[in-house]
A = this chain, B = another copy of it.
Amino acid sequence: MRQATHQLLVETAGQRLYEITREVRSRVAGAGIAEGLLTLFIHHTSASLLIQENADPRVQDDLNAFFRRLVSEDRNLYSHHEEGPDDMPAHIRAALTATQLSIPVAAGRADLGRWQGIFLYEHRAHPHQRRITLHLLGE
C-alpha cells in the first residue's frame, strides 16, 4: 500500500463550473496505483467541488442558475460585506456543495459513472487561482 499527492492549480474567471476530469484522470494514470482511493480537497471557502453530468452543458447552466436563485446577493441579508456582494453568497454556496470528494480507483482509473464529470465550482465573480490537492492511496 502506498500513497501519492499532487497539487492542481485552476484559473477561474467567473461564477460557473469548470470541468477538471481530464486533469484528474491524467494524474491518476501517472501514479501507477491500480486499486485504491482518490481524494480531492479544495483549499478555499468560496469555491467547491462537484460531481455532475458532463454530457449536456446546459445541466451546468441550469444548476448554476438554481444556486443564483437560492442564495440571493441582496446585501440587506448579510453583515459580512467587506469582500464584495458575491462573497457571502459564495461561502453559502460552498457550504451547500462539497469541499472534498473521494472516488474509488479501479484498474488504474478513477471509477466514475458513465455520465459523471468532476468539476470545480467557482462561486466568486472575479478571476481566482484555486488550489486542489489530489491524494491517492492504494496499490
The stretch among A8-16, A18-26, A108-116 that forms the contact with chain B is: A108-116
| A interface: dominant SS | mixed
- Count of chain copies: 3
Chain B CB within 8 A of A103 CB = yes
Q: Closest B residue to A97 by CB, please name it.
A: B95
Which chain B residues lie closer than 8 Å to A46 at the CB level? 53
Q: Closest B residue to A51 by CB, please name it.
A: B99
Q: Contact between B5 and A43 (Cβ–Cβ < 8 Å)? A: no
Chain A, residues 23-65, CB within 8 Å of chain B (1/0): the string is: 0000000000001110101111110001111001011011101
Chain A, residues 86-127, CB within 8 Å of chain B (1/0): the string is: 001001101111111111101000011111100000000000
| Complex CA distance for A131 and B97, rounded to whole angstroms | 22
Which chain B residues lie closer than 8 Å to A53 at the CB level? 45-46, 91
Which chain B residues lie closer than 8 Å to A79 at the CB level? 58, 61-62
| Complex CA distance for A79 and B98, rounded to whole angstroms | 24
What are 11 pairs between A and B in contact, CB < 8 Å?
A: A1-B1, A3-B138, A5-B106, A43-B113, A45-B53, A51-B99, A61-B79, A63-B91, A66-B77, A100-B103, A104-B133
Q: Contact between A99 and B96 (Cβ–Cβ < 8 Å)? A: no
Which chain B residues lie closer than 8 Å to A116 at the CB level? 43-45, 99
Q: Contact between A80 and B59 (Cβ–Cβ < 8 Å)? A: yes
